Amino acid sequence: MAPSISTFITVVAWATCTLLFEKYHAVELAATSESSAALQLERNALLHTGWWSSNQTGNNSGHCQWDGIDCNARGNVIAIHRTYASLGGKLKLNFSSFPNLVRLDLVGNEFQGSIPFEIGTLSKLSHLHLGFNNLIGEIPLSIGNLKNLVSLSLENNRFTGQIPSSIGCLTNLSYLSLSWNQINGSIPMEIGNLKSLKSLHLASNNLTGPIPTSLGDCYALTELSLSRNYLDGSIPHHIIDLYWLDSIDVSHNFLSGEISVELGRASSLSILDFSFNKLTGSIPPHFSFIKEVNLSYNSLKGQIPVDYGWYYDRYHTPDTLIGNEDLCGQSMGFPPCPPARNNSVGRTVKIMVPIAMFIGFFVLWCFLLLKCVVKKTLPESTKAKNGDLFSIWNYDGHIAYEDVIRATEDFDIKHCIGTGGYGSVYRAELPNGKVVALKKLHRLEAENPTFDTSFRNEVKVLTKIRHRNIIKFHGFCLHKRCMFLIYEYIERGSLFWVLNTHVEAVQLDWRKRMNIIKGIADALYYMHHECIPVIVHRDISSNNILLNSKLEAFVSDFGTAKLLDSDSSNQTLIVGTYGYVAPELAYTMIVTEKCDVYSFGMVVLEILMGKHPGEFLNSLSSSHSQDVMLNELLDHRPPPFNHLVAHDIFLVAMIAFACLRTKPKSRPTMKCVFRELLSRKKPIAKPLHTISIWQLRNQETYLVGESETQS
């Protein structure tokens, strides 16, 4: 009996093991088959996009070997990164085929259409980058399903609609950029749920309503950019409590209310831009620790704090404060603050005012009488020798005629730094340490009625204007011995000189060139649209654009500028620099703002090419221009540019050719030009080597709408 029982047990054990092994093997085969099917599904989905050439896909190589594909150990796709590959078309990726996808980076591919709702199925996705495309429609609600998302970048597309409230579900999000779209509505309160958010960029959209107070709950926030929207209300105090906040830009909105005093104690801040809003009240103290502050173009009032940053001194109006007419302080551009009122002497003041007025009138009468007597008694030779000393004038009252003579050693040639259209330019260091530039008419020029008219015209124009990109005018002298104008000294000289000096031109990288173009446009926009009457420069050229030590642009030389009179024909002689003058002046002799627009277009092309474009433009025929690509036009001396600058180059090139249209009415206004330069809402251009000059010259629909309505 024992052997039979033992044999039975052995047989049963063997049979059980065999069944278990077969079952395990079947499960393993099924899993392998399922994995193989999943991998094949991924491969087919990638092939369907058409994003890879047949050279890669046709040799039966595994898709994990294709460009821009990363896989895990099992062969599943975990990353797709195809940036600036000009893929085009719609975003036809079957998202459900990639359950293991962690990173999707498709920046700068000119994709069209909308983001499919199915993107919400990518539950493991941590990085989603679809910026710099032509995507439209609304951001899908399903994006809130991507709970593992750390970085979301959808900037520079054409998205409309509102920011979905489901974005508040992305609690792991660290970086969010939706800038340069057409998103409207308000910023959702749910954004305060993003406790891990460090960078928030919503600039250049159509957002309205107040800044949500819930942003104060984003404790990790270091960068906040909400500029160029339509936000209103006050700046929430909660934002100031963000300990790690390094930069905040809410410029170009409609924000109102006062700036919180607590902001001056936010020790982590290094960049603060509240410019172009409707803020009121005074400037909080303790701003000196912030590296960059811009409060310009608000309605601030009161005294400028003595610790308002390192850029505030007693001789200059801080550009970061211009446009606040009710501020006062100890600088040349602001009136001094009145002394504090003492109510205890109010009655004495009331008594003294009439007495002071009487004494003042009496002194004035005596002064006029004395001047009349002196004029009658002085010999003619003495008057001719001294000239009319009462005509020496300046802004701050501290630049005396004698100081100028001593500083230039009576206009010694060693202080001469150049010659202008109607005089020589000198560098002078005044006793207070301030360096100025003097444009002096020589004696023969001063006696020439044409030069005298230009001199007086420049004084007339420059006393009416003040702008950050227009050379600052400190004063003038109409002495019979000599006539001169006093300007701010601009260190680097003219744009023409910089572009024609190799060492200087190399330093003038593409970002600086774009900023120079924006600065010139800003100045012309101010002259054409914010000055009454309108001021037309009539001689915009690279010689009349000066660059300071930071390579910022300043429009200069207003000797030929004209104040447009709406009640006259505005006929004029042809003036300006050859190669920059608008063609219509030759047969109409009528000056308009569009003359400056044409000259601006020439300067822009000169900045892009590194030389005057006249010879190039004259050589272009319609057929030849089809063969010349934009990248061939560009100056080769600056360092290479990235995709962001390539977008700017494409934009300013389009603007330049629009400004150079033959018919004045078809040119854009400077208001339109300046708005386009700031908006950055245009889609990314094609690669510059694929854009022909013929295409740029024939963009007849670009920047026309506003130009024809405002011509």
Catalytic residues, by residue number, are 539
Q: How far is CA 119 from CA 124, 197, 638, 678, in A?
A: 11, 22, 41, 32
Cα separation, 600 vs 409, in Å, equals: 38
Whether the bond between 140 and the residue before it is cis, its omega within 30 degrees of 0, is no
DSSP state of 145: G
Neighbours of 384 (CB within 10 A): 10
Helices (H), 660-710: 670-679, 693-697, 705-710
Ranges of beta strands (E only) in 281-384 are 292-294, 301-303, 326-328
Cα separation, 269 vs 428, in Å, equals: 39
Helices (H) and strands (E) in the chain, counts: 19, 28
Q: Which residue has the tokens 């999000």?
A: 173
Contact 227, 251 (CB under 8 A): yes
Ranges of beta strands (E only) in 408-533 are 416-420, 423-429, 435-441, 473-478, 483-488, 493-494
Contact 564, 536 (CB under 8 A): yes
Amino acid in position 215: L
Cα separation, 106 vs 129, in Å, equals: 6
Helices (H), 624-680: 630-633, 643-659, 670-679
Q: How far is CA 401 from CA 337, 493, 527, 663, in A?
A: 28, 25, 31, 48
DSSP per residue over 78-142, as a string?
A: EEEE--S----SB----GGG-TT--EEE--SS--BS---GGGGG-TT--EEE--SS---SPPPGG
Q: Which residue has the tokens 């290094």?
A: 270
Contact 254, 277 (CB under 8 A): yes
